[in-house]
Amino acid sequence: MTGPQRYIAHLDMDAFYASVELLRYPQLKGLPVVIGGRKRHAGEVTETDLPLAQWPRLKDYTGRGVITTATYEARAFGVHSAMGIMKAAALAPDAFLLPADFDRYRHFSRLFKAAVREIAPVIEDRGIDEIYIDLTDIPDIDASTPTDPMAGARRIAQAIKDNVRQATQLSCSIGITPNKLLSKLCSDLEKPNGLTLLRAQDIPERIWPLPVARVNGIGPRATQKLHDLNIITIGELAQTPVTTLMQHFGHRYGVWLHETALGHDERIIETERLIQSVSRETTFEHDLHVKRDKQLLGETFTRLCQQVAKDLSAKGFVGRNIGVKLKFDNFQTVTRAITIPYPTGDARVIRQVAGQCLKRIEFSRKLRLLGVRIGTLTPYSPEQNTTALDQGDTLPLF
Binding residues for Mg(2+) are 12, 129
Q: What is the 3-state secondary structure (H, E, C) of 68-132?
A: EEECHHHHCCCCCCCCEHHHHHHHCCCCEEEEECHHHHHHHHHHHHHHHHCCCCCEEECCCCEEE
219: Cβ contacts below 8 Å, ≥ 6 apart: none
How far is 281 from 304, CA to CA, in rounded Å? 7
236 given a catalytic annotation: no
Amino acid at 156: I
φ and ψ at 147, to 5 degrees?
-105, -10
The widest CA-to-CA distance across the chain, in whole angstroms, is 77
The β-bridge relationship of strands 33-39 and 67-70 is antiparallel
Is the sign of the CA dihedral 221, 83, 13, 151 positive or negative? negative
Among the listed residues 21, 73, 124, 130, the single catalytic one is 130
Residue 153 host element (H or E): helix 151-168
SS3 label, residue 205: helix
How far is 194 from 192, CA to CA, in rounded Å? 5
Residue 237 host element (H or E): helix 234-238
The β-bridge relationship of strands 130-134 and 123-125 is antiparallel
Whole-angstrom Cα Rg for the chain: 24
How far is 73 from 34, CA to CA, in rounded Å? 10
Q: Are 182 and 188 in contact, with CB atoms under 8 Å apart?
A: no
Which residue numbers are catalytic?
Answer: 130
